[in-house]
Structure 1
Amino acid sequence: MSLDRGAREKLVRALAASMIEHAEELTSLDQAIGDGDHGLNMKRGFEAVLATLPGLADKALPEMLKAIGMTLVMKVGGASGPLVGTFFMELGKALPEQPARTDLVAAADKAIDAVKMRGRSEAGQKTLLDVLVPVQAVFAGGGDAKAIAAEAAQAADRTTPMLATRGRASFLGERSIGHMDPGSRSASLLISAAIAALEFEATS
């Protein structure tokens, strides 16, 4: 997969738009089981990312992803900044400038492992890992753009009946059941935005 400067800028703008446009939804989800600031925090972080354009898109893909991650770590409050920022940074560190699909799969594996370590969590605990892990399984298994986007949305939905055992929501115990995890929702939105922006194909 080779992304020219225009494609890299399109990707950044799509990721930012997904968080800015859904900030109220994410805030509402977080008000139910968290601190109520997830949407605002993600919006603030990606507005800061947008502010680094056009220079950000001048960077090679790996450097661009690392820069996005660093900005999110610095600008996004709560647990989301370190976790989402870590994913972007580790993805950038692991990718060559013109990655093939196998490179993307391997880099995503490393990024997910870094998120697990940073958050001291695993899939099944009602966190963004409950989207990242199953989506990665579909991606690694050769799924196309439609299958990946569908899994991202379905995986976020599957967090609704889950009991939270990590993060702020875990303090609610059984009251966390019946509410979608906001981190999972934002992860699904970012994945869908990236796929749409890149017009991703399984053969890329």
Structure 2
Amino acid sequence: MNIIHTPQMKDMILFMAERIIESKPLLTEVDSRIGDGDHGIGMAVGFTAVKEKLAGEEYSDINQLFRQTGMAMLGSMGGASGVIFSSVFLGAVKGMEVKECVDTKEFAQMMRKGLDTVKQRGGAQPGDKTMVDALEPACDAMDSCEGTSFGELFQRAFDAAKKGVEATKNYPAKFGRAKCLMERAIGFQDAGATSVMLMFGAFLEWVKKEKANE
């Protein structure tokens, strides 16, 4: 698969939303070790809202699809997670010309714009023990995927995000409740970074499913 059209993108986002909702216990457990323990709940609420918003709608372009995804999360999650994770989708299509389909290069560019928006709004940088520690490596990995398939794109992104999650275990936290733990947060992975890894894992799983059904 080298091109994803709008209906396919909608299906992929819905598939990813379901996987995130299913991961609520895992994300809650990860977050409870150094945070408030509510990250899994917030992500499940946000992506349940995404499912409810997208399921009965038809979209003519990817821009509108991503905006509605982001707004559903922003309007339902609240708090920092709602702002930050919605920024991935809202930032991805901000100022982008209307597109009915995207190739791997264009998708990588969208994710880079989403990352830039997250960093601008949240202020986090790599090494701060946040979702940026998974999203930035994933974007870096996708930058070199021009001309490849979406299967290869998402495999590289997932592998890089997974390494980013592992790396968060080595960092003290600079944001959220975990910030108060300082060095005691070392040894535990970040919940937001884990969510990013799960997102790309779901994208990869969706592509493999589509290929198997061809």
TM-score by length of structure 1 reads 0.89
2:116 is the counterpart of 1:113: yes
1:147 corresponds to = 156
Give the Cα–Cα distance (whole angstroms) in 2 for the partners of residues 120 and 69 of structure 1: 19
For residue 58 of structure 1, give the secondary structure of its aligned residue in structure 2: coil
Size of the aligned set, in residue pairs, is: 200
2:98 is the counterpart of 1:98: no
Contact 1:87 1:112 in 2 (8 A): yes
Give the Cα–Cα distance (whole angstroms) in 1 for the partners of residues 87 and 63 of structure 2: 13
Give the Cα–Cα distance (whole angstroms) in 1 for the partners of residues 121 and 108 of structure 2: 20
Give the Cα–Cα distance (whole angstroms) in 2 for the partners of residues 153 and 17 of structure 1: 20
For residue 52 of structure 1, give the secondary structure of its aligned residue in structure 2: helix
Contact 1:8 1:57 in 2 (8 A): no
State the AA in 2 paired with 1:53.
Answer: L
Deviations 1:70-106 (A, max 9, x none): 1111111332110010111111333633223332232
Structure 1 residue 4: deviation in Å? Answer: 4.8
Give the Cα–Cα distance (whole angstroms) in 2 for the partners of residues 100 and 13 of structure 1: 19
2:89 corresponds to = 88
Contact 1:56 1:64 in 2 (8 A): no
1:3 corresponds to = 5
Contact 1:45 1:76 in 2 (8 A): yes
State the AA in 2 paired with 1:194.
Answer: F
User: Can you give the 5+ residue segments of structure 1 that lack an aligned partner in the other structure?
Assistant: none
2:183 corresponds to = 174
Contact 1:68 1:88 in 2 (8 A): yes
2:72 corresponds to = 71
Give the Cα–Cα distance (whole angstroms) in 2 for the partners of residues 102 and 39 of structure 1: 31
2:133 is the counterpart of 1:124: no
User: Can you give the 5+ residue segments of structure 2 that lack an aligned partner in the other structure?
Assistant: none
Contact 1:156 1:184 in 2 (8 A): yes
Contact 1:56 1:67 in 2 (8 A): no
For residue 26 of structure 2, give the secondary structure of its aligned residue in structure 1: helix
With over 3 angstroms needed to count, the CA separation of the structure-2 counterparts of 1:88 and 1:4, relative to structure 1, is closer
Higher mean C-alpha deviation, range 58-67 or range 131-140:
58-67
TM-score by length of structure 2 reads 0.85
* RMSD over aligned Cα atoms: 2.0
Contact 1:159 1:179 in 2 (8 A): yes
Deviations 1:126-167 (A, max 9, x none): 000000111111110228233222222221122112111223
